């Protein structure tokens, strides 16, 4: 069985290690732990991980956050992966830092990357792993906040949270969405 695991982020050195790029960071950690390397591909950087008889196609779209749907749709079609085996990893301002929430569907929550994916795919019935980045910013400073680097305190906790993300991705692909949600949400 094939799965498409998409980490949302923006390309370019100025966006590296920013809150908005946690999807890219998560997939980089997954690739490193799996001893695979991302290579440039159509509409993004891509690599393949084999895990317990499953094939996981990891994708970091190069379309910029607000146009992520084009890359997601292309790779779903190219790899012939049904939407039920799509997992999108994204930052979430509504969750405290480090909170991980796996959902099987839902609104875009004001996230432009999710909004574009929903528009292009024509529905919101796909799994997403939301990584809480908190909302510790003054009114009107949301964009600056998500595009800024992690604080020292957040950076110290980031590796452990990324390792938890890897377990959630593996669970999604092996024991399924419902059980993985039960095992990891709120923990």
Rg (CA), the chain: 15
Contacts of 41 (CB under 8 A, 6+ apart): 59
Active site residue 20: yes
**In contact, 136 and 19? CB cutoff 8 Å:** no
Q: How many residues are there in the chain?
A: 187
Q: Which of 19, 20, 85, 130 is catalytic?
A: 20
**In contact, 150 and 98? CB cutoff 8 Å:** no
User: Going by DSSP bridges, is the β-strand pair 86-92/2-7 parallel, antiparallel, or unpaired?
Assistant: parallel
State whether residue 68 is helix, strand or coil: helix
Q: What Cα–Cα distance (Å) separates residue 87 from each residue in 63, 149, 150?
A: 18, 25, 24
Which residue numbers are catalytic? 20
């Amino acid at each position: 069985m094939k799965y498409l695991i998409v980490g949302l982020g923006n390309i370019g050195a100025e966006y590296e290690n920013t809150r908005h790029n946690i999807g890219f960071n998560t997939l980089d950690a997954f690739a490193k732990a799996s001893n695979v390397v991302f290579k440039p591909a159509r509409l993004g950087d891509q690599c393949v991980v084999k895990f317990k008889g499953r094939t996981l196609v990891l994708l970091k779209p190069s379309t910029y956050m607000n146009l992520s749907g084009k890359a997601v749709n292309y790779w779903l079609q190219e790899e012939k992966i049904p939407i039920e085996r799509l997992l999108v990893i994204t930052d979430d301002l509504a969750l405290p830092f480090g909170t991980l929430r796996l959902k099987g569907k839902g609104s875009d929550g004001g996230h432009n990357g999710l909004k574009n994916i929903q528009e292009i795919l024509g529905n919101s019935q796909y799994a997403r792993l939301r990584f809480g980045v908190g909302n510790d910013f003054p009114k009107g400073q949301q964009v600056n906040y998500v595009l800024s680097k992690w604080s020292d305190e957040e950076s110290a906790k980031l590796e452990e949270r990324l390792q938890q993300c890897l377990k959630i991705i593996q669970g999604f692909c092996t024991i399924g969405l419902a059980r993985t949600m039960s095992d990891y949400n709120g923990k």
